Amino acid sequence: MDNILRQIVKMKIVSLKGTAFQDALDRIYACIYGNKCFQRVKQKRDDGSDGIVNGDTVLAAYAPESYSLRDFKKKIGGDFASYDNNWSETHSDWQVVTNLESTAQMIKFVNDLKTGASIICIEGLLQKISEQTWTVKTAIFRSLDIPEHYLTNDIVATVIEDLIQISDRNSGFEPYEKPAYIQDKIELNVSEQNWDSFSDEYEEALALFPIVSSVVRSRPQSKVAAIRSTVRTTYISLSGDFESRFAELVGTMAKNKIRDDYYVHNMRVVMLYFFEQCLYGQKPISEVGND
C-alpha cells in the first residue's frame, strides 16, 4: 500500500473502539484466512477467545476508549486467564491484536504471560493487510467501508512497476499523441460476436485511463519505452485470434499474480490502455501512417 492508502486504512482501524474493533477484526481475518482457517467467536461468553486462527491460535482483541498500561494489563491479563482455563489444552497459541502502537511494556507483559505469546499492533496489522493479494485487499477495504477508488491508484502503480521489472530492454518506440478511433479498432481486431462485450469492457476501463496515463507519465521514459516494447513483442509472439492473444498477453504480463483476480482486472485495464494507443493489434487506416 502507498503512504496515502496506508494512512486511510490506519485511521479507519484506529478509530474503532471496543466491540467495533473486534467486529472489524473478524471481517479482516475472514478476508485473509477464509472461513476454513478463521473461526469467529461470539463476543458474549467467549471464554477468553476473540477468534481462532488456523484451528490453533486464540486471539485477544484490545481497542480501549483510552489507553493506560494498567488497563491493558487488567484486560489482557483477564483474557489470558480465561484462555488458560478454557482453551490452552486444545489451542496451544495465544495472540493479542490491538489497534494501538505497542510499547515495550505491553510486549513484555504479553511475552511474560506465556512462552511464544505475541502481540500484533496497528503497524503489524497494516503489514499483514499489505501482504495480501489485491483481491483480498479489496475485500478488506469493502468490509471496512473504505471507498474502492483509494485502491485504484495504488494497484495501477504496482502494475506499471511490475511491467518495468519484466521489461529488460529499452526501445525507441514513441507513444502516440492521440488514440485511434476505438470503435474502428475494435471492429478491426475483435470477432463480431464479441464487439459489444469488448466495447463495454473498454468503456468501463476508460474511466481509469487518466490514472494509468498519470502513472505512466511519472515513470522514466526509458522504462515506459521498455514496457511498450515488451508488450508489443509479447503480443506479436502469440498466436490465435485477437481475443485469445489478448487474454494470453494479460496472463503473461501478470506472471505469478495470475490468480489475483483484482490485479488481473487492472492489468487488463493497462493492456486496454496500450491497445487504445495502437501499441498492438491491427490499426485502422487513419492510424497506419503513424508508424
Q: What is the Cα–Cα distance from 133 to 254, expressed in whole angstroms?
A: 13
Say yes or no to pLDDT of 46 above 60.
no
When pLDDT is averaged across residues 100-117 and rounded to a whole number, the result is 95
The cell 487506416 sits on which residue? 285
pLDDT-based confidence at residue 5 (cuts at 50, 70, 90): confident
**Of 291, 290, 281, residue with least CA distance to 182:** 281
When pLDDT is averaged across residues 36-48 and rounded to a whole number, the result is 77
The cell 500500500 sits on which residue? 1
pLDDT recorded at residue 170: 44
pTM here? 0.68
Q: 218 Cβ partners below 8 Å, 6+ apart? A: none
Domain containing residue 272: 149-288
pLDDT-based confidence at residue 290 (cuts at 50, 70, 90): low
Helix (H, G, I), strand (E, B) or coil at 176: coil
Cα distances (Å, whole numbers) of residue 243 to 194, 273, 285: 9, 15, 21
- Same domain for 110 and 31: yes
Q: What is the Cα–Cα distance from 42 to 38, expressed in whole angstroms?
A: 13
pLDDT-based confidence at residue 24 (cuts at 50, 70, 90): very high
- Same domain for 17 and 64: yes
- Same domain for 63 and 121: yes
**pLDDT, tens digit (0-9, with 9 covering 90-100), for 203-218:** 998 888 888 888 888 8
**pLDDT, tens digit (0-9, with 9 covering 90-100), for 265-276:** 999 999 999 998
**pLDDT, tens digit (0-9, with 9 covering 90-100), for 236-264:** 999 999 999 999 999 999 999 999 999 99
- Same domain for 273 and 242: yes
When pLDDT is averaged across residues 145-153 and rounded to a whole number, the result is 81
Maximum mean pLDDT: which of 96-110, 148-162, 195-209, 211-225: 96-110
When pLDDT is averaged across residues 5-26 and rounded to a whole number, the result is 93
pLDDT recorded at residue 288: 59
Q: How many CA atoms lie within 13 Å of 222's alpha carbon, on the beta-carbon side?
A: 3
pLDDT recorded at residue 45: 62
- Same domain for 244 and 136: no
**pLDDT, tens digit (0-9, with 9 covering 90-100), for 181-208:** 688 899 999 999 999 999 999 999 888 8
- Same domain for 159 and 132: no
When pLDDT is averaged across residues 121-142 and rounded to a whole number, the result is 93
| Structural domain count of the chain | 2
- Same domain for 166 and 123: no
Which of 121, 143, 165 represents a domain boundary (last residue)? 143
**Of 172, 202, 205, 177, residue with least CA distance to 187:** 202
pLDDT recorded at residue 178: 42
**pLDDT, tens digit (0-9, with 9 covering 90-100), for 57-100:** 999 999 999 999 999 999 999 999 999 999 999 999 999 999 99
Say yes or no to pLDDT of 173 above 50.
no
pLDDT recorded at residue 84: 93
Which of 108, 143, 178 represents a domain boundary (last residue)? 143
Which of 125, 143, 161 represents a domain boundary (last residue)? 143
Q: What is the CATH number of the domain that holds 138?
A: 3.40.91
pLDDT-based confidence at residue 167 (cuts at 50, 70, 90): low
